[in-house]
Amino acid sequence: MSDIKNKLDSLFLLIFKIPKNKKKTHRNYKNIKKWDSLNHANLILAIESKFKIQIKPEKSIKLISYKEILNYLKKNV
Amino acid sequence: MITYDKILEYIETIKSKNYKAISMLFLSNFNNLVLNNYLTFHLGQINLKTKIIKSEYDQINQEIFNLNLNKKIDKIDYLIIAYDINSKINFNELLIEKYINNIKNNIEEILNNKNLKSINIIHFNLSVSENIFFYLEKDYHIFLKKINSFNKYLNRICDTHKNHHILDVNKLINQIGINNFYNSKNYYLYKTPYTELADNVISQELSKIINSTLKTNKKCLVLDLDNTLWGGVLGEIGSEGIDLGRTYGGECYKNFQKYLKVLLKKGIILAACSKNNIGDVKECFKKNKNMILKLEDFSALQINWDNKYKNIDLIANELNIGKDAVVFFDDSPFEREEMKNFNPQINVINVPKNPENFVQSIEKTSFFYKKTQTVEDIKKRHQYKILKKASNLKTKFKNINDFFKSLKMTLEISNINKYNFERSVQLINKTNQFNLTSKRYNKTELEVFLKSKSQFTFVGRLKDKFGDHGITALAMIKKNRNTWIIDNFLLSCRILGRKVENIFLYEILKKLRFNKISSLQGIYIKTNKNFQCENFYIDNNFKKIKSNYFVTLKNLKKLNEGYIKIKYERY
């Protein structure tokens, strides 16, 4: 589990420049400035290759907060 | 293949590196963020740090036609323009016609923008996705015809404009297959049309093009023989026993040799460096009927039992080229490691285990990528051989002047003109050793220089009894306020050691005196490589004042080196 969180945190650092140890459970596309539509693509593609999964299109447009992504990964990885 | 998350991690590490920085504006009608990241990665692999100037997605027309672009031009080195037609068009003849005309308009606008002439511009050509196969046959043919005709138009633009280049999307589709190229899911979701694999090959190709504009191309490929040009160890199994043709591995090696033939045609010099008995090798090239390469294809041979890192120095010396222009290809990890440690300037290819991947491993680097091939390139290999013959001859003569006389040299001098323009740019940017100022001019800058009123340019073509060495000397003189200065003076190292440089300079001074110029200033700018011409001006009777060199043209001292005939051409 902590491995999943660790990996996800590293992507949030790379893409949104949010430090790894910072609490993110409340963060989403509204309160992260860099989280625009282009970077959303960036994030989902990076998640897909980092966790070696394919996210269904209808799901990937709903993964718009840190919490939702983490829950999704816990269930699917 | 490297995955996207690793690409993102790698890009972070480039930021702290001390690489040469380039900046680019990437205009496309799709979301190019992912592709940009791949591109930054691949350019990082060749030690370039990429800065991408932001532009709005799918705003090509607006960027090109409004002032935005002009504001950005100052900051960019490269402009990339990519249209992915599959994402835009509901197929019908009129629409596609209109669409293509719009692209052409944009290109014409770019061609007319004077500020864009000094920037390298890369165009994606148009391609079709698998969707097209569902069209009616008649429409399908119309569609293809329109696209082909546009691509031909683009080819013409890039042939006639030196700063325009093509990224051949169709070639890449052929390479990896159309089903591996487009990803409809990602397009509909994020407007990124390509798969990871396609992003990878596109950005690899782009980085090759960019690298080729930076003049870092290599000149010579040094090859091992056993398990590189053929399978097995020649000394053990003999010339008929080696694996070449017939079997799986044999076919791979044979194909690799065919590829090397292509490199030869591109003007790349081949050399062999192998631990073998020279007699065995000669016999093998003569007798084995499957051998594609001939021994004569190699401009230098070091076949003995010495360390390769020492032998490669001998090859570079013999061919008179800098070590950083040499690429080493050897299947043995030991030899490669030794080379990297003891001769770090040599470029070492990471040779894969299986011979079917040999070609790819060279193509992956952009060492030998070229947009245009000058006539000089084709001649060059021949010239290195001439040079070799000449250096063999040297030993026969006791007196060096007798030797020079026997060469029957002629130096043809002209100014830089349309006949030698390409070659002049190449010389200016490639010559490192005998280069007094190492001032580089790209095509546009040189054109600007030539248009100025207060300038003289000289190029020299050397011929001797062995053949034509081509244009190998160049000088550029300009007026800076009231002083005439030698802005550039250089000689290709191929013809050094014959005092051609002194005679070339003397002829220039005479010509300037004829044009009523009374004095001239020479400049020497020290680099890592040009120490050999440090005293050039002093040796030629210039006077050193502070850090500059001056000569009065009134009392030119006669040079008594009667062994070179001078001819003036088109001057």
Per-residue pLDDT at B64 exceeds 70: yes
User: Is residue B243 pLDDT above 60, yes or no?
Assistant: yes
Same domain, B182 and B225: no
Instruction: State yes or no: pLDDT of A1 exceeds 60.
Output: no
Residue B176 belongs to what H/E stretch? helix B169-176
Find the radius of gyration of the CA atoms of chain B: 27
Reading phi first (left if > 0) and then psi (alpha if -120 to 50, else beta), residue B300 is in beta
Residue B204 has pLDDT above 70, yes or no: yes
Which CATH number does the domain housing residue B120 bear? 3.40.50.1110
Structural domain count of chain B: 3
State the Cα–Cα distance between residues B187 and B194, nearest whole angstrom: 7
- What the block records as the tokens of B66 is 């409004």
CA distances from B429 to B366, B380, B523, B534 (A): 17, 17, 18, 19
Q: Name the one residue in this structure whose structure tokens are 């031909």.
A: B152
Contact A42 B33 (CB under 8 A): yes
Q: Is residue B13 located within the same domain as residue B148?
A: yes
- The answer to the question of residue B14 being in a domain is yes
User: Band of the pLDDT at B560, cuts 50, 70, 90?
Assistant: low
Of B3, B185, B186, the CB nearest to A49: B3
Q: Which residues on chain A are in Cβ contact (under 8 Å) with B4?
A: 45-46, 48-49
- Which residues lie below 8 Å from residue B39, measured CB to CB, with a gap of 6+? B26, B50, B203, B206, B207
Q: Given this model, what pLDDT does residue B67 score? A: 61
| Number of Cβ atoms within 10 Å of the Cβ of B567 | 12
Q: What confidence score (pLDDT) does residue B136 get?
A: 66
Q: Which of B338-342, B353-357, B402-406, B493-497 has the lowest mean pLDDT?
A: B493-497
Amino acid at B24: M
pLDDT tens for B534-543 read 899 998 989 9
Flag whether B380 is in a domain: no
pLDDT above 70 (res B57): yes
Least confidently predicted of B55-64, B274-283, B387-396, B459-468: B387-396
A40 interaction partners in chain B (CB closer than 8 Å):
190
d(CA B372, CA B563): 36
Q: Crossing angle of helices A37-51/B33-45, nearest 10°?
A: 60
Contact criterion met (CB < 8 Å) for A38 and B9: no
Q: Where are the alpha helices (DSSP H) in A17-65?
A: 37-51, 57-60
| B9 found inside a domain | yes
- Could you give the percent of chain A with pLDDT greater than 70? 99
Tell me the three state secondary structure of residue B424. Answer: helix
Q: Which pLDDT value is given to residue B527?
A: 84
Cβ B36 vs Cβ B6: under 8 Å:
no
B120's tokens: 């390298």
Quote the domain boundaries for residue B225.
Answer: 220-364
The H-assigned helical ranges of B465-534 are 500-514
Average pLDDT over residues B315-344: 88
- Phi and psi (nearest 5°) for B82? -130, 125
> End of a domain among B149, B183, B213?
B213
Q: How far is CA B24 from CA B9, B406, B488, in A?
A: 21, 54, 30
Are B236 and B322 in a shared domain?
A: yes
Judge: B188–A46 Cβ closer than 8 Å, yes or no. no
Considering the domain architecture, whether residues B175 and B72 belong to the same structural domain is answered as yes
CATH code of residue B234: 3.40.50.1000
Residue B343 falls inside a structural domain: yes
- Taking only the tens place, the pLDDT of each residue in B99-138 is 899 999 999 988 988 888 888 999 999 987 766 666 667 7
C-alpha to C-alpha distance for B320 and B384, rounded to whole angstroms = 9
B77 and B129, same domain (yes or no): yes
Q: B317 and B424 share a domain? A: no
Same domain, B203 and B270: no
Do both B74 and B156 map to the same domain? yes
Look at residue B449 and tell me whether its pLDDT is greater than 60: yes
Q: What is the DSSP letter of B540?
A: T
Q: What is the pLDDT of residue B390?
A: 61
Interface of A with B (CB under 8 A): 10-11, 14-15, 37-42, 44-50, 57, 60-61
Q: What angle do CA B346, B348, B353 make, to 5 degrees?
A: 160
In degrees and rounded to multiples of 5, residue B224 shows phi and psi of -80, 170
Q: Do A11 and B190 touch (CB under 8 A)?
A: no
Same domain, B174 and B255: no
Phi, psi of B382 (to 5 degrees): -60, -40
Least confidently predicted of A18-22, A43-47, B520-524, B567-571: B567-571
**Do the chains contact at A38 and B8, CB–CB below 8 Å?**
no
- The better pLDDT of the pair B492, B255 is held by B255
Task: Domain A2-76: state its class.
Answer: mainly alpha
Q: How many residues does chain B have?
A: 571
Residue B265, H or E segment? helix B248-265
Answer whether B34 sits within 8 Å of A48, measured CB to CB. no
**Residue ranges of the domains in chain A?**
2-76
Interface mutation target, options A42, A48, A64, chain B, most CBs of B under 10 Å: A42
Co-location of B286 and B433 in the same domain: no
Q: For residue range B141-197, list pLDDT tens digits in order.
A: 888 888 999 999 999 999 888 889 999 999 999 989 988 999 888 888 888 889 999
Strands (E), B169-297: 220-223, 269-274
* Contact call for B34 and A45, based on CB within 8 A: yes
* Residues ≥6 apart with Cβ < 8 Å to B184: none
CA dist B430 and B522 (Å) reads: 21
- Proportion of chain B above pLDDT 90, given as a percent: 46
Q: Does B553 lie in the same domain as B408?
A: yes
Confidence of residue B88 (pLDDT cuts 50, 70, 90): low
Residues B286 and B326 in one domain: yes
Helix or strand run (H / E) with residue B213? helix B196-213
B313 occurs within a structural domain: yes
Q: How far is A43 from chain B (nearest CA, A)?
A: 9
Query: What are B497's two structure tokens?
Result: 């050691």
pTM for this predicted structure? 0.57
Q: In CATH, what number is assigned to the domain containing residue B473?
A: 3.40.630.30
